[in-house]
Structure 1
Amino acid sequence: MVKNKTDERTMLWQQKIYQAAEGIRHRVMEHTIKNNGGYLSQACSAAEIFATLYLNVLNMEMPEKPLMPGSFLGVPGADNPNHLTGTSFHGVKAPEYDRFFLSPTHYSLVLYAALIEAGRMAAGGLAEFNKDGSVVEMIGADHSPGMEIMTGSLGQGISQAAGIAMGRKLKKEAGRVVVFLSDGECQSGQFWEAVQAMSYHKLDNMLAYVDINGYQCDGKTATVMNIEPFDKRLESFGVRVFRIDGHDVEALAALGKLKPDGRPTFILCDTDPCRGVDILKNRIPKLHYVRFNNEEERNLYRTVFQEMVDITRRGGK
């Protein structure tokens, strides 16, 4: 009887994460239809990763209630004391807490949806997306919800995170630096320079999740610049590497709790960029950004979305 109760508790946390992942896809798809554009395939591939991070892996303070994003208060500088970063959605910074960094900021819409599903951002905040004066930007910056640095060009995010991780290690802070990356940005030279530095300085307080969905702006990652065998290449730099199904929340969560062993840890997540939204397969290999060609196509996506919502209401049956 005790074993059954334990199994039930285990299933509860798993189900909560899967439901949050489904919620992320729904929110991003609804937004894409409403605004005639959005980074939908990124939500399909990375929903379980974001949901697992926010509901299971990241050790961060929880806000007292979901926060509503404020207005943009200007760029950082000595003459602007009002400048704020988006870290309030992660709670206070403290030595014992993790810090999370989104490297590919075209995933910002997915991050915002994840913050809502995790109870950190008010659902109404998504309505501020990409409006003049709003911090809820399409390409998120240091002032956007859930962010504290401007990662700029792809490959810069992990470099900045590595510098912060080194600082935390020198200060002997217990909190980790957790980074989310996309496979396309791992083609850049700056990425590999960062990995080399992370390994050399033994930044075992760094944990990187990489969404390997196989596609980027110009089509298939393998035909733009093949990085496979990605795991073997990373291992040759002296980091700890695991490769898993990126939709398996048990694996995502378990690897997020590994004890450090003197090396940075990379979790390579093989994912499906059409997961849960099969209609996207008609767009392969152009999956980077969804914009509808005409109202007929948009209505088709509306029909598919309504079917998804109806299935969820029926309990997935």
Structure 2
Amino acid sequence: MHQPGGPSQARPLPAQEREPLRNEKTTEEIARGIRARVFEHTIRNNGGYLSQACSAAEQLAFLYNEGLNLGPSTMPMVPPPFGGVPSADNPDYVTGAGYNGPFDAVHDRLFIAPAHYALVAYACLIEVGRMAPEGLGMFNRDGSSVEMIGAEHSPGMEVHNGTLGIGLSTAAGLAWGRKRMGHSGQVCVFMSDGEVQEGQTWEAVQAAAHHGIDNLWAIMDVNRQQCDGAMDEVMTVGDIATKFRDFGAVVAECDAHDLKAMRAARATPHPGRPLIVLAHSRPTQGMESLMSRFPRLHYVRFKSEEERARMNIEIAAELGVAPVALEAH
């Protein structure tokens, strides 16, 4: 089904099958739950995007629990299998955006630009009651929509953002269309700071400022890390706050682990221009034991069973949870 002003979205479930919005937990509790789930997954599977949970847990918890006006999920709690790619021969194709709520004029839309944060996003969906815990057991399995690198059919994903830098452009286009249609809903992008190494990011900001797209805002996880190590060792990006301002955005900065500061940053007025919130994070927040691997933190795969066992005990203690019970081999 195609909705006016947007790409295809999941067909709404009958009212009796929909899950209601669940905001029973505090944002702080959700952030802790995200880290605990990603930790457990990483230990059990001997690998995972663990550092991203350290840096981004509060940001995603904030977006889903209080920062965005999202309607109830329109998707089943247990994610459906991969349904094929969009084509004329697949008219029933749907995206994973239904987990973020319906497409309508009043609710906000969320784009998760760094697709490798998918594991963290799935954990967040579980913590806020939009996806069943069983969904994480489908992660990276053949035939599953719960992909390691989130695609447009993955839970919480509306478009494919596997190429860093395209998320903000896509969101700006949607926001421009929504503004022209008189929609009150905002468009938000969750980004990573590695995207500032891509020229398309700056083109998107410049275009959004030129066209007065002020129903667009982004929060960027500034953890100074990327696939090949520390960003400054790969390609220095300099003062990105000044750059964003020079390209026409309003910029607010905050500690990514201070929710009070994050709320204040989001409230920054930005009439006629997009807002960029730079959330300065620590890639080992809540799991300081990971510093022994610094700066190789992009994807954590344990080098030995001894390291895995040690990290299991040390990180569990830091998170205040029980170590993961592993099957004996």
TM-score normalised by L of structure 2: 0.87
Residue 181 of structure 2 corresponds to residue 175 of structure 1: no
CA distance in 1, matches of 2:307, 2:321: 23
User: Which residue pairs with 1:96 in the alignment?
Assistant: 106
Residue 287 of structure 2 corresponds to residue 277 of structure 1: yes
CA distance in 2, matches of 1:255, 1:278: 26
1:285 aligned counterpart, secondary structure: coil
User: Which residue pairs with 1:213 in the alignment?
Assistant: 223
Of the candidates 227, 230, 236, which is equivalent to residue 226 of structure 1?
236
Residue 254 of structure 2 corresponds to residue 244 of structure 1: yes
User: Which residue pairs with 1:128 in the alignment?
Assistant: 138
CA distance in 2, matches of 1:66, 1:23: 21
1:221 CA drift (Å):
1.1
Count of paired positions: 300
Alignment RMSD (CA, Å): 1.8
Comparing 110-119 and 85-94, the one that deviates more: 85-94
- Would you say the 8 A contact 1:240–1:266 is kept in 2? yes
1:300 CA drift (Å):
0.9
- Would you say the 8 A contact 1:57–1:257 is kept in 2? no
User: Which residue pairs with 1:153 in the alignment?
Assistant: 163
User: Which residue pairs with 2:311 in the alignment?
Assistant: 301
1:124 CA drift (Å):
1.1
1:302 CA drift (Å):
1.6
2:204 aligned counterpart, secondary structure: helix
Residue 86 of structure 2 corresponds to residue 85 of structure 1: no
1:266 aligned counterpart, secondary structure: strand
1:92 CA drift (Å):
1.2
User: Which residue pairs with 1:115 in the alignment?
Assistant: 125
- Would you say the 8 A contact 2:188–2:217 is kept in 1? yes
Counterpart amino acid of residue 78 in structure 2: M
Distance 1:177 1:249, change over 3 A: same
Residue 212 of structure 2 corresponds to residue 202 of structure 1: yes
User: Which residue pairs with 1:72 in the alignment?
Assistant: 82
- Would you say the 8 A contact 2:252–2:268 is kept in 1? no
- Point out where structure 2 has 5 or more consecutive residues left out of the alignment: 1-22, 323-329
1:66 CA drift (Å):
7.3
Counterpart amino acid of residue 18 in structure 1: E
- Would you say the 8 A contact 1:66–1:116 is kept in 2? no
2:207 aligned counterpart, secondary structure: helix
- Would you say the 8 A contact 1:65–1:119 is kept in 2? no
1:226 CA drift (Å):
1.8
- Point out where structure 1 has 5 or more consecutive residues left out of the alignment: 1-12
Deviation string 1:193-246 (CA, Å, 9 cap, x unpaired) is 111111111110011000000111111112222222111111111110011101
Counterpart amino acid of residue 133 in structure 1: G
Distance 1:259 1:174, change over 3 A: farther
CA distance in 2, matches of 1:231, 1:287: 24
User: Which residue pairs with 1:27 in the alignment?
Assistant: 37
The structure whose residues are more often helix, as a share, is: 1
Comparing 38-47 and 147-156, the one that deviates more: 147-156
1:104 CA drift (Å):
0.6
Divergent runs of 4+, >6 A = none
Distance 1:65 1:254, change over 3 A: farther
User: Which residue pairs with 1:3 in the alignment?
Assistant: none
1:250 CA drift (Å):
1.4
TM-score normalised by L of structure 1: 0.90
- Would you say the 8 A contact 1:209–1:268 is kept in 2? yes
Residue 174 of structure 2 corresponds to residue 164 of structure 1: yes
CA distance in 1, matches of 2:172, 2:98: 22
- Would you say the 8 A contact 2:253–2:265 is kept in 1? no
Question: What is the identity percentage for the equivalent residue pairs of Structure 1 and Structure 2?
Answer: 49
User: Which residue pairs with 2:298 in the alignment?
Assistant: 288
CA distance in 1, matches of 2:74, 2:183: 25
Counterpart amino acid of residue 144 in structure 2: S
